[in-house]
Amino acid sequence: MAVRLAEVATIAVALGALGLWCSVPNTAPLASENPTSTAFIDLRRADALADGRPFTLHWQWRPLAAISRYLQAAVIHAEDAKFYRHDGIDWHAVEHAVTSDWTRGSMAVGGSTITQQLAKNLYLSPRRSLVRKLREALIAFSLEDHLTKPRILEIYLNVVEWGDGVFGAEAAARRWFHHSAQDLTPAEAIRLAIALPNPFLRAPNVRDAELTRKAVRLVRLLRMDGMLDAAQERTTLDQFGAPDERVLPDRAASPAPSSPTPSPPAHDEPAAAPPTGEPTATPPAGQPTLQIKPEAEPGQESEPRRGSAAPGSAAAPAGSDRGDADSAPN
């Protein structure tokens, strides 16, 4: 009887795994095609209809190059520090989330990567369940298989929710700051980044000590990335109400090392002849002969590996605020 039950359980698990695998949508077209809607947009529209409320969708697609680099870097720092280094799942974050959830006795702490959040926004729902998390992981692997990292980031920044009916960076920039996503200042970009993943509780116009702490941290990281100089860091910190925070000094340009002047040859020793084929200018009397060495030919740059930051894209950050990255509603 026990053997029979074990066989039934094994078959049930296998069928469940097969069902999960078959539920993964085909993500390959996203490599070249933009989605026409998302699960979250459809959900918000359905909720509004059920409540008898009007639903106005604000959504304008923009290529990654037309989205502020400050926003790209701030979102990666805030949401997924290892974005350019993982395969869709940050296993260390998952371990931390599972440990925290087990201690609290609930699914409270998120460990979702940007790729997982994209999977959820495109195909799933905010409802928490083990099945949803498994589907999310499988879809994330599929996205990583078919899309490049810059394309994943581009789609995410274009579909993530930033307010009531506000989806994507362009609509968010116009809703909160009245200009395009390309023209976001560092402070505006950081305000949008810390609004995720819950733009209703942490909207860009919300001010509190915890969000200020997160904002100061992101300012520091952008400065460490070389995206801000000392004056920009000071201005951005002041805009967040942190005038007492010190700024890092700008690096002074290092003077070029001066070469020691060679002593002229003795009168009874002829000056050394230059190597064959190297041009030499005839110096004035009493000055040493200067030999010009040909510069080494530059090597060819290799193509960036998948998983590394593409040229012009945000560098892989050093830290992240994803302790609550899976909070509702995203």
Q: Identify the DSSP state of 63.
A: -
Burial label, 163 (beta-carbon count in 10 A; 0-12, 13-18, 19+): middle
**Rounded CA separation 115/238 (Å):** 33
Banded pLDDT at 5 (limits 50, 70, 90) = low
Architecture of domain 2-53+71-249+315-324: Orthogonal Bundle (1.10)
pTM: 0.72
Banded pLDDT at 18 (limits 50, 70, 90) = low
Banded pLDDT at 209 (limits 50, 70, 90) = very high
Closest Cα partner for 215 from 322, 207, 72? 207
Span of 42-51, 186-195, 300-309 with lowest mean pLDDT: 300-309
Q: Residue 195 has what pLDDT?
A: 96
Q: Residue 32 has what pLDDT?
A: 96
Task: Find out whether 38 and 155 touch, Cβ atoms under 8 Å.
Answer: no
The sign of the torsion formed by the CA atoms of 20, 21, 22, 24 equals: positive
Q: Residue 290 has what pLDDT?
A: 38
In this structure, what token pair is assigned to residue 131?
């099945």
Task: Please state the domain extents for the chain.
Answer: 2-53+71-249+315-324
For the residues 318-326, what does the mean pLDDT come to?
51
The backbone region for 178, taken as left when phi is positive above 0, alpha when psi lies in -120 to 50, beta otherwise, is: left
Give yes or no for residue 258 having a pLDDT over 80. Answer: no
Q: Residue 318 has what pLDDT?
A: 52
